Structure 1
Amino acid sequence: MIIDLLEESVEKYRGKIAVCCDERNMTYGELYIRILKLSEELTAKGVKKGDHVALLLANSIEFILSFFAVNRCGGIIIPVYVNTGANKLVSIVNFCDIKFIISSKQYQDVYNAVTREVCLKMQSIFSVNEDGITECITLAEAPPLQEKVYESSECSNCHDLAVILFSSGTTGIPKGVMLSNNNITSNAKAISDYLRLSPDDKVLLVKNINHASSITGEMLISLYNGCSLYLTGDLPTPSLILQLMRKKGITVFFAVPSILFTLVRHRDFKSCCFEKLRIMNFYGACIGCEEIKMLHEKFPRVNLIYSYGLTEASPRVTYLEGEELIKRQGSSGKAIKDIELFIVDEAGNFQGPGSVGEIAVKGPNVMLGYYKNSELTKKVLGDGLLHTGDYGYRDEEGFLYVMGRKDNLIIQSGKNVYPEEIEKVLGSCSGIAEALVRGESDSFLGQKITAYLVAEDESSTELREVLLHCRQNLEDYKVPREVYFVAALEKNPNGKTVRNQEIKI
């Protein structure tokens, strides 16, 4: 059970601060007592083993309480982004067979959509705060009240479905990724193995809490290791993040590269002291060598760690840290504990060092499958390996190099081009804040490489400088045929650039 990770820390660190959200503190002992209380209330309201329970909650203590309480009841946790549109929420509720929604009064306008539409399996919507259920909206007759809360060992086993997460892909409709208790707990322990956290650490979580990287790679590893987890329900602006890091003495920080670069360019950055910060783990997009060097210069005493993963792997797969980030330019590192990496060709044959193919993963972290999509599950997991859809290769020492998404591949004049490689080069160009590269339809070339750039400021970069930088760092056929400067690029809730976004020039 996922809650076992927390229970180990409760025994050791009962009186220590477990979580702090917007000046509200809760010790491990207080957190656990409230989880027990909420799980008892949920059981009394009809939540039982196997029920699908949506968490419509932002970054908050209430999310953490609800997450563990549902897991203790044996329910299936389905985190839902709080700013989901009304029609989209109704479709999620129906598709995922959700019976219960846990939310708070501030999102009443969002969940009210469910009360107005036909949601066949919905029974109740609960509003909660840190003291438990404050309101219950009953939509259908509930089953008879149960007399007790099941103990962890009774209500589930490690291989039972525990969580359904929506993949944070940027190219299409998210898929429901089914993860078991063991998928998540094994990955949390493997991440802990390379991070080497201590109970003295203060972990800052600013990304949306509904994603695999936030849940497993930040929330759970913090609580499993007896750390103090800091989060905020406010919009995580660069100034607020810097303020929290300084004021709270943050020692461990997780972020996607776009957040890191926004921080170092912020006007308050130079006045901030990061003497207590010791680990900065980034993921979501690989970055170039020059950018790595820049981060080393900005954070000279911090251990920089890059991680590669995907929701289907719970999510972490590899890591690379410290000087290796510069020494092994472009690498995503080696597999974390208990995970095996393979490179396979189109026929499924294993490839040796240096050969490019699809990256495949094997380990206890690999998902159970996609919810209500047996065809895709068979395609991705059919041979006992998780086929990631990413292309890359391994060197003689086993270090992984990710070249790009199979789905993103651009074929220009018969040549295969991965846009991620070009984006790295563009990102290392002086004056460029963000880059998106796509293959746009072309009657002569088939596809033409097109780049959309966000400049750091209006006068920071000229087009000829960008093209010269590309020619110096890429093969000629990889230099973008068209380059456009845009005001901004759309991001998904996890901070990744949406690849198929509509861009007005």
Structure 2
Amino acid sequence: MVDQKPWLKFYPKEIPASISYDEKPLYAFLEEAALMYKEKKALHFMGKELSFEEVFKQAKQMANFLQYVGVQKGDRVAIMLPNSPQSVISYYGALMAGATVVQVNPLYKERELAYQLNDSGAVVLICLDMLLPTVTAVRPDTSLKQLIVTGVKDYLPFPKNVIYPFIQKKQTNVVIDLEETDDTHSWKEIMKNSSAEYKEIAIDPKEDLALLQYTGGTTGYPKGVKLTHYNLVANVQMIQAWIYKSKPGEEIVLGILPFFHVYGMTAVMNLSIMFGSKMILLPKFDAQEMLKTIDKLKPTIFPGAPTIYVGLLNHPNLHKYDLSSIEACISGSAPLPREVQDKFEEVTGGKLVEGYGLSETSPITHANFVWDKRINGSIGVPWPDTDAKIVDMETMEEAKIGEVGELAVKGPQVMKGYWNRPDETENVLKDGWLFTGDLGYMDENGYFYIVDRKKDVIIAGGYNIYPREVEEVLYEHEAVMEAAVVGIPDAYRGETVKAYIVLKEGHHVTEEELNTFCRKNLAAYKVPRKYEFRQELPKTTVGKILRRQLVDEERQRGSQEAKANL
């Protein structure tokens, strides 16, 4: 086994090479936690706390209501919420009802929302009241049959629940006066009137889908990743094994990673529920508020992304707060700079290590050891029951040690495939191996390194941005003849979006006008931060735009500027 998996010789004795995974529905973790940690606080949200028993009861009420309005086993229920009690309750309630959850980014604009609802065939959407104008605009063109609307104030303690509507109006200029109908429902009324008795649905954990997690790819259009109950149960039990010093029932998990992102969903929400841990829910990143929260509430586990750690470390008031409660952090979504790791560990006294994963793997496949051998710059080693190899992209044979090729992974956390996309599924899943599209190599000790992405995905601030999706929007502008979008280095976000534009003859448009146009059609994090107007774009002989050449030009430009500043 060690010959085939050289990384196993570095496994500490506390981490097993193989785990006996529970073959049960994902929501069973909540049911078990409600029995074992009945009155223990499960959620903390802006001063309001709910026990595990209360969360379980309200999830059952949501399951009851979803079944009452006609949700059948396998129906898709979309959730468009920030981190909040409602997002946790909706997620587990939908699973209890036998549904498949579709997580939707609350930042989505109309076109993005309509695409995801139509592609998934969602029949119910649970959303925030301030998002109602966007939802209302697209609803007639979707398969939605029911809408459930909630507000941040629904779970705020007094007097915040009274004050918040005025703050919301001032910040968003959106005033919601919800009119309940046969197909539009108030969350508060559901929780007031629904029974906690629901019809239990038989679940086959290895076959039945718990989640459609949307991700992008070379086509530019997001694809629904089919994750089963077993995929998600296995991955969260792997986390438990990896952070072996953590104690069930005693940890406090900081929930800043959004639950609509598979990393936050697994490493924060599912882990906290399984672990019997209090989850501190933060709906958005605000460095000052995070520092206050850590100082006051003393979280011990803090999954995050490099931009989050950078934002905290660079805050001018960092020295005023005590962050010493933090014990374990696994960083994902983007490469973790060495200086960030070192400074964060110095400030907190805890451990921060880099990991790796994809939506297609629930998401984690690799990580450095939290308390044992780690290598800076490496994504670490494969997790229990996870195999990995580097494949030569020309011969498709396994590459030699140190040679760069495509990373392929295999394990119980690997998806069933893409929703309604058999051809794309066949392209990436071969004999149980998932070909990740990421380029890397393995050293003689079995530690893996990512050097580039085969795909053109841009990762900015932990968010995946797909160039073609942004290009499609730019092409809709009447002045744009050609557009190419690439990721360029950014000290804070890792990468940022840059658009290269060729204008139609006789047309003129400014950066400001393009920016306004994009912001109407794209979530803010996808909007290009820089524009460059050109007479032509580099192309192949058959006319395909060479994005890689544009990226290389940016790197050369950055290198020349760095030399000039020496």
TM-score (norm 1): 0.78
- Find the counterpart in structure 2 of residue 398 from structure 1: 446
- Name the aligned partner's letter for residue 375 of structure 2: R
1:166 and 2:214 matched: yes
Contact 1:344 1:357 in 2 (8 A): yes
Deviations, residues 39-79 of structure 1 (Å, cap 9, x unaligned): 11111111110111111222110111110011011111001
State the partner residue of 2:38: 14
Question: Which residue in the other structure is 1:24 paired with?
Answer: 48
| Aligned equivalents of 2:310, 2:121: Cα separation in 1 | 40
1:329 matches 2:352:
no
Aligned counterpart, 1:124: 146
In the alignment, is residue 190 of structure 1 matched against residue 245 of structure 2? Answer: no
* Equivalent in 356, 361, 364 of residue 308 of structure 1: 356
Counterpart-to-counterpart distance in 2, 1:363 and 1:24: 39
Aligned residue number for residue 124 of structure 2: 100
Query: Does the CA contact (< 8 Å) of 1:127 and 1:134 recur in 2?
Result: no
CA distance in 2, matches of 1:168, 1:329: 28
SS at structure 2 position matched to 1:447: helix
Residue 286 of structure 1 pairs with residue 335 of structure 2: yes
Shift of 1:200: 1.5
**Alignment equivalent of 2:304, drawn from 237, 255, 260:** 255
Aligned to 1:2: 26
Q: Is 1:339 aligned with 2:389? A: no
Q: For 1:426-481, what per-residue CA distance to the aligned partner results, in whole angstroms no more than 9, with x for missing partners?
A: 78xxxx5455499996589982524489xxxxxxxx987723899xxxxxxxxxxx
Structure showing greater relative contact order (alpha-carbon pairs closer than 8 Å, 6 or more residues apart): 2
Letter in 2 for 1:370: Y
Please name the residue that 1:447 is paired with: 549
Question: Could you tell me which amino acid in structure 1 is paired with residue 308 of structure 2?
Answer: I
Contact kept? 1:17, 1:26, Cα under 8 Å:
yes
Matched, 1:68 2:92: yes
Residue 78 of structure 2 corresponds to residue 54 of structure 1:
yes
Question: Runs of 5+ in structure 2 lacking a partner?
Answer: 1-24, 156-177, 185-196, 458-487, 501-536, 541-545
C-alpha change, 1:202 and 1:49, in structure 2 (3 Å) is: same
The 2-side partners of 1:328 and 1:185 are apart by 28
**Which aligned pairs between 1:42-441 and structure 2 lie closer than 5 A?**
42-115=66-139, 117-119=140-142, 121-128=143-150, 135=180, 137-138=182-183, 149-152=198-201, 154-167=202-215, 172-196=220-244, 197-198=246-247, 199-233=249-283, 235-299=284-348, 301-322=349-370, 328-346=375-393, 347-408=395-456, 432-433=491-492, 436=495
CA distance in 2, matches of 1:319, 1:150: 39
C-alpha deviations, 1:5-63, integer Å up to 9, x for none?
A: 22222221111001111112111111111111111111111111011111122211011
Could you tell me how far apart the structure 1 residues matched to 2:415 and 2:435 are? 11
1:146-204 CA distance string (max 9 Å, x none): xx83325x255442111101126799432211111111110011011112332221111
RMSD, aligned α-carbons: 3.3
Distance 1:287-1:87 versus aligned 2 partners, 3 A rule? closer
> Closer, same or farther in 2 for the Cα pair 1:95/1:272, shift >3 Å?
same
Change (3 A) 1:385 1:252: same
Identity percentage over the alignment? 25
Q: What CA distance in whole angstroms lies between the structure 2 residues aligned with 1:111 and 1:434? A: 29
For 2:423 and 2:116, the matched residues in 1 are separated by 20
Does structure 2 conserve the Cα–Cα contact (< 8 Å) formed by 1:307 and 1:320?
yes
CA contact (8 A) 1:206 1:232 kept: yes
Q: What CA distance in whole angstroms lies between the structure 1 residues aligned with 2:456 and 2:372?
A: 27
Deviation at 1:365, TM superposition (A): 0.5
- Pair 169,378 (structure 1): closer, same or farther in 2 beyond 3 Å: closer
Distance 1:18 1:452, change over 3 A: farther
Alpha-carbon distance between aligned partners in 1 of 2:181 and 2:73, rounded to the nearest angstrom: 20
In 2, the alpha carbon distance for the partners of 1:369 and 1:215 equals 19
Aligned length: 431
SS at match of 1:55: strand
